[in-house]
Amino acid sequence: MILIKPMSNDLHDMIATVACEAALAAGMVAHRGFVNASPETLATEQKAGFFDIVTASDKAAERAACDTIWSRIPASRILGEEGGWQGEGDTTWIIDPIDGTSNFASGLPFFCVSIAAYHKGEPVCGVVYDPVREELFMANQGRLTLNGKKVEPFLRGRTDREVEVLTNAPYEGERPSRAAQEAHADLVNSFRAVRRLGSCALHLAYVAVGRVAVCYESKFSAWDIAAGIQLVEAAGGQVYVQDAAGSRLEPNEDALGSVKRLVVAQAGFDYQSSNLSKQMEDGIL
Ligand code: IPD
Ligand code: CA
Ligand code: CA
């Protein structure tokens, strides 16, 4: 059961309400496409290659989110994975209409809608919506909620040995180099378990609400991480992001496009002693 905050005159509340509405609208389209999967709804095209696909449902879900946003807040500029930059205004939205498209197209029920909103450069809210489980993760003005209820995460473990790590490494579409194979072997050797669930935004949401202690991602775009970072920050978790040269960045709106590697962890997880701080330093995976 999804709870949406009632609209108030406060612009931030309004943006947060519209973010939820847009996520639900896109989620409904995605869910319908998933449940009624057919060659038509799955009409798939390749983007960067066979490992990077887009379906008719991705495009329709993004349209549903954009239409919702512009009908409520016309002064909006939107960066959507499928449509690129569109519109003008003080409120910026970063949208991934279906994060986990490969899962979606395979019939694996693990994908989501991810929407982050900023006003005049300041983060306002981040929403990650899983339409299969009807779970709406939201960061709004420093508060983390799941289906409208405040989340009180507990620490899953302090060290690699005690926890699972979620990751997208090694990335699809190319044979990992010898160094990347070694780096992955180190991950496998360090953590209790290594999981590639196939949706970066849900990985981040799961760390935020304390289902998993830590997540490591590389090779992503701003729409994969924008909302999830806000969720982890609202949970008081740790966020480490760096650019292609290995320099640490602040994960604000302007820098998101330059972020190439990311670790998020629950507060209290010992990142400095983790194999992940080495992965970040080495920059191989
Ligand atoms: C992808 C997923 C995947 C991650 C890729 C993303 P998409 O997003 O989040 O888990 O490994 O980096 O591009 O293409 O399904 O929206
Ligand atoms: Ca994505
Ligand atoms: Ca996508």
What tokens were used for 175? 């044979």
Instruction: Give the whole-angstrom CA distance, residue 240 versus residue 25.
Output: 31
- Domain boundary at 130, 150, 170, which? 150
The residue range of the domain holding 115 is: 11-150
Instruction: Give the whole-angstrom CA distance, residue 100 versus residue 111.
Output: 5
Contact assessment for residue 47 and residue 30, using Cβ atoms and an 8 Å cutoff: no
pLDDT at residue 7, as a whole number: 40
Domain-embedded: residue 1: no
- Domain boundary at 150, 171, 187, which? 150
200 lines ligand 1 (CB under 6 A): yes
Helices 178-190 and 275-282: angle between axes, nearest 10 degrees: 160
User: Strand 143-146 to strand 149-150: parallel, antiparallel, or no bridges (unpaired)?
Assistant: antiparallel
pLDDT at residue 149, as a whole number: 98
Sign of the Cα torsion 31, 262, 227, 207 reads positive
Do both 18 and 81 map to the same domain? yes
Rg (CA), the chain: 18
pLDDT at residue 40, as a whole number: 76
Query: Residue whose CA is closest, atom 15 of ligand 1?
Result: 100
Do both 49 and 166 map to the same domain? no
**Rounded distance from Cα 95 to ligand 3 centre (Å):** 9
By 3-state DSSP, what share of the chain in percent is helix, strand and coil, each rounded to 5? 35, 25, 40
Do both 17 and 118 map to the same domain? yes
CATH code of the domain containing 114: 3.30.540.10
Q: Is residue 38 exposed (0-12), middle (13-18) or buried (19+ Cβ within 10 Å)?
A: exposed
Instruction: Give the whole-angstrom CA distance, residue 31 versus residue 175.
Output: 33
**Rounded distance from Cα 159 to ligand 2 centre (Å):** 28
The residue among 139, 107, 92, 98 whose CA lies nearest residue 36 is 107
Work out how many domains the chain is built from and give that number: 2
Domain-embedded: residue 273: yes
Domain-embedded: residue 164: yes
Instruction: Give the whole-angstrom CA distance, residue 280 versus residue 80.
Output: 28
Instruction: Give the whole-angstrom CA distance, residue 277 versus residue 268.
Output: 15
Q: How many CA atoms lie within 13 Å of 229's alpha carbon, on the beta-carbon side?
A: 27
- For the CA of 98, the closest atom of ligand 1 is 16
For residue 26, give the ligand nearest its CA.
3
Do both 176 and 254 map to the same domain? yes
pLDDT at residue 43, as a whole number: 79
Domain-embedded: residue 3: no
pLDDT at residue 285, as a whole number: 87
CATH code of the domain containing 217: 3.40.190.80
- Domain boundary at 150, 175, 204, which? 150
pLDDT at residue 2, as a whole number: 60
Do both 249 and 214 map to the same domain? yes
Mutate to test the pocket of ligand 1, among 199, 206, 219 (most ligand atoms within 8 A of CB): 199
Do both 175 and 142 map to the same domain? no
Do both 170 and 270 map to the same domain? yes
pLDDT at residue 9, as a whole number: 54
285 lines ligand 1 (CB under 6 A): no
Do both 232 and 255 map to the same domain? yes
Q: Give the pLDDT of the chain (285 residues) as one tens digit per residue.
A: 565 554 445 999 999 999 999 999 999 999 999 999 998 778 789 999 999 999 999 999 999 999 999 999 999 999 999 999 999 999 999 999 999 999 999 999 999 999 999 999 999 999 999 999 999 999 998 999 999 999 999 999 999 999 999 999 998 888 999 999 999 999 999 999 999 999 999 999 999 999 999 999 999 999 999 999 999 999 999 999 999 999 999 999 999 999 999 999 999 999 999 999 999 999 998
Do both 143 and 205 map to the same domain? no
pLDDT at residue 6, as a whole number: 46
Do both 54 and 92 map to the same domain? yes
204 lines ligand 1 (CB under 6 A): no
The residue among 96, 153, 83 whose CA lies nearest residue 130 is 96
Domain-embedded: residue 6: no
Do both 264 and 239 map to the same domain? yes
Domain-embedded: residue 2: no
